[in-house]
Amino acid sequence: MTMGAIYPRRKAKLQPMSGIYVHIPFCVQACTYCDFHFTTRLSDRNAMVKALIGELRAQMPNWSEHTFRTLYFGGGTPSLLTPSELAEIAKVAHEEGQWELNEWTVEANPEDLNPNTLAALKEAGINRLSIGVQSFQPEVLQWMNRIRGNCNAKQAVEWAAEAGFEHLSLDLIYGVPVGDHRRWEDDLETACNLPVDHLSCYILTAEPKTAYGHQLRIGTLSAPPDERVLDEYATLCDKTKKAGFEHYEVSSFAKPGGRSKHNSAYWDGTPYLGIGPGAHSFLDGCRWWNARSNARYMKSAEKGDFTTQRDSELLDANDRFNEALITGLRRVEGVDPKALLKHTGLDIQSQSKLAALLADGRCEWVNGRLRIPEAHWPLADAITLELIK
Ligand code: SF4
């Protein structure tokens, strides 16, 4: 069944286009490096589904002038919910809003995928799966604390392709402190030979409140040297290019037609509604976010008032300028200085450090847009910091 058959496209002429993100805050176990919001207390699952639906019903009337095009279930581990629970949440989102849905992504861990589940996810109307593989090597998965049962990630991806999803994406991590350079080449080789049209490849970062951060602090482990991480990045750019992927954002690689529409809209500054604990929303220059606490979130749902657990900030011109650079300079298209000036009143050309960045090649002008060349993307955050206000 196609997505259009399940969620008929309503004739919607309203603007602007928007997206919805739903955060599913459950995981079976904590990965060594993860500081996302989640709990391993799966017993709250039913109450959480009800709470998510409650927040959707409360929020959607505020978005009546928007047309939603993308729906994204992230986490946590959305694949811990059943396909019918995911469909139940999506159905409410659809009933309460105007839609021209063209991408519904669900993040899934490979161990949750089997032919029956995949068929049910497809039947629910999901057309894009983002599969959290991270590595195909048992040694690396062991260190990441991602071994669950007898999972064969390659097999799970092949089943997903056989199930007929329109788009498949894999998450991979490099710059890990175990294994050698060969392991990253092997992971890339495997990923590039699978029938997927998108790869998200992240450099491992050591967040302070994670097991990895702790291991570095107490000295039981050392982070890989920068040269090795840069070497792995070069291998990544080379292998994905040869396999026909376009490197369109620092961490994102797509075959033709495979770019993530949801994330691209987010990087474009499109308004988005975030549902669930810890989820962020953005509309009319205002950003707000839910508390990173399942208990507070579900209590709000019981009271029917989500506002008390929320925080917000109004973005001024400087914030909007910074946000546009932070998201724009991560992309192959870079930033349009004229649009930036129009939307913020601030001129990127007057930034004092720009001349030096252009002179040493860390920034470049291409077709009137400012961007960071691919070779310098691993340092994109540091370069952007020099330009923001
Ligand atoms: S499965 Fe994902 S969200 Fe859950 S702990 Fe691991 S990395 Fe974090």
State the complex-level ipTM: 0.99
Retrieve residue 80's tokens: 């811990």
Q: Which two tokens stand for residue 279?
A: 């989820």
Q: Find residue 174's DSSP bridge partners.
A: 203
- Which amino acid belongs to residue 381? D
Helix (H, G, I), strand (E, B) or coil at 145: coil
How many angstroms separate the CA atoms of 314 and 283, rounded? 10
Which residue of 23, 34, 205 sits with most ligand 1 atoms within 8 Å of its CB, as the best mutation to test the pocket?
Answer: 34
For residue 268, what pLDDT band results from cuts at 50, 70 and 90?
Answer: confident
pLDDT value for 302: 95
Residue 151 Cα to ligand 1 middle (Å): 16
Of 29, 50, 30, 78, nearest in space to 306 by CA: 50
pLDDT in tens, 43-84: 999 999 999 999 999 999 999 999 999 999 999 999 999 999
pLDDT tens readout for residues 78-126: 999 999 999 999 999 999 999 999 999 999 999 999 999 999 999 999 9
Mean pLDDT of the chain: 93
CATH code at 3-267 = 3.80.30.20
* Tokens 């300079």, located at residue: 329
Top mutation candidate among 26, 28, 36, 200 for ligand 1, by most atoms within 8 Å of CB: 36
Coil/strand/helix, residue 102:
strand
Query: Atom 3 in ligand 1: which residue has the minimum CA distance?
Result: 76
pLDDT digits (tens, 9 = 90+) for 181-194: 799 999 999 999 99
Cα–Cα distance, 39 to 223 (Å, whole number): 27
Model confidence pLDDT, tens digit, residues 347-360: 999 999 999 999 99
Q: Which residues line ligand 1 (CB under 6 A)?
A: 27, 30-31, 34, 36, 38, 75-77, 109, 132
Q: What confidence category does residue 180 fall into, taking pLDDT thresholds of 50, 70 and 90?
A: confident
Q: Backbone dihedral region of 149: left (phi > 0), alpha (psi from -120 to 50 degrees) or beta?
A: left
CA separation for the pair 110, 45 (Å, rounded):
20
User: Ligand 1: which atom is nearest the Cα of residue 27?
Assistant: 4
State CA 385 to chain mean position distance. 22
| Domains in the chain: boundaries | 3-267, 330-387
Q: How far is the CA of 142 from the centre of ligand 1 (A)?
A: 14
